[in-house]
């Protein structure tokens, strides 16, 4: 009796699953949903990977190719004795989802608008905006305690004996929560930027 009841329940379930819903069965609608979802997820991952390389970030925009990328190529994050080279997204984009997607969408729109608007289209414009733009990035890194820096540089793996005295003192501040990576290492991937206000003060007649 129980077996007959189970068979009836299965028939009703599959009857509902394959019964028309409008012009299509529920099964077909579910199948279409799965396919669309899979294409969306795979397409998103492919897009993230393709747009996450240093080559893409450095050459897609005219301004980046002319002013940002050449500067980055001179940094220790591009060429160094160990051959470790992080991608631009390793430093500039959150590593977790969905924060990564939201950040890339926002940054892409901001960069596209700035490129179309010619915000840093010349060396003079770039130099004028550089301090402001650098501070936006630094503030973001300070806000999350330089999380992206620490995804590669594990503080627990540091060997203080191989660090300079100044580095050991600075890292004590880090461990006590009084400083974060970007406060000392602002010039590690790009040329360090000087505060134009301080530069003007220094140049002012005494």
Structural domain boundaries of the chain?
7-50, 64-193
**What's the maximum distance between 2 C-alpha atoms anywhere in the chain?**
103
- Choosing among 1.25.40, 1.10.405, 3.80.10, 1.10.3820, the CATH entry for 64-193 is 1.10.3820
119 has pLDDT over 80? yes
Q: Give pLDDT, residue 131.
A: 93
16 has pLDDT over 90? no
Q: Are 62 and 115 in contact (CB under 8 A)?
A: yes
Short-list 178, 171, 176, 173, CA closest to 154: 171
Q: How far apart are the C-alpha atoms of 164 and 98, rounded to whole Å?
A: 39
21 has pLDDT over 60? no
Q: Please give the average per-residue pLDDT across 48-74, as a whole number.
A: 89
Short-list 83, 202, 95, CA closest to 148: 95
Q: Per-residue confidence at 27, pLDDT binned at 50, 70, 90?
A: confident
Q: Give pLDDT, residue 4.
A: 61
Q: Please give the average per-residue pLDDT across 90-101, as a whole number.
A: 91
167 has pLDDT over 70? yes
206 has pLDDT over 70? no
Q: How far apart are the C-alpha atoms of 159 and 99, rounded to whole Å?
A: 32
Q: Are 180 and 174 in contact (CB under 8 A)?
A: yes
Q: How far apart are the C-alpha atoms of 17 and 22, rounded to whole Å?
A: 13
Q: Please give the average per-residue pLDDT across 89-111, as a whole number.
A: 90
165 has pLDDT over 80? yes
- 20: β partners: 25
Q: Against a cut of 0.85, is the pTM above it?
A: no
Helix, strand, coil share (%) of the chain residues, nearest 5:
65, 0, 30
Q: How far apart are the C-alpha atoms of 205 and 201, rounded to whole Å?
A: 9
82 has pLDDT over 80? yes
């Amino acid at each position: 009796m129980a077996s007959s009841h189970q068979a009836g329940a299965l028939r009703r379930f599959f009857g509902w699953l394959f019964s028309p819903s409008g012009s299509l069965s529920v099964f077909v609608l579910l199948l279409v949903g799965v396919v669309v979802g899979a294409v969306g997820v795979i397409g998103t991952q492919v897009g993230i990977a393709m747009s996450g390389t240093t080559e893409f970030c450095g050459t897609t925009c005219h301004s980046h190719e002319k002013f940002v990328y050449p500067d980055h190529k001179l940094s220790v994050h591009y060429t160094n004795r160990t051959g470790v080279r992080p991608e631009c997204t390793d430093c500039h984009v959150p590593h977790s989802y969905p924060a990564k997607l939201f950040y890339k969408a926002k940054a892409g729109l901001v960069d596209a608008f700035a490129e179309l608007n010619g915000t840093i289209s010349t060396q003079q414009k770039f130099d004028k905006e550089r301090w402001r733009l650098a501070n936006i990035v630094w503030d973001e890194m300070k806000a999350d305690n330089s999380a992206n820096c620490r995804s590669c540089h594990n503080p627990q793996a540091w060997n203080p004996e191989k660090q300079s005295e100044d580095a050991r003192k600075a890292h004590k501040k880090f461990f006590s929560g009084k400083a974060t990576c970007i406060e000392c290492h602002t010039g590690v991937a790009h040329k360090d930027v000087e505060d134009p206000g301080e530069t003007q003060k220094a140049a002012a007649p005494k």
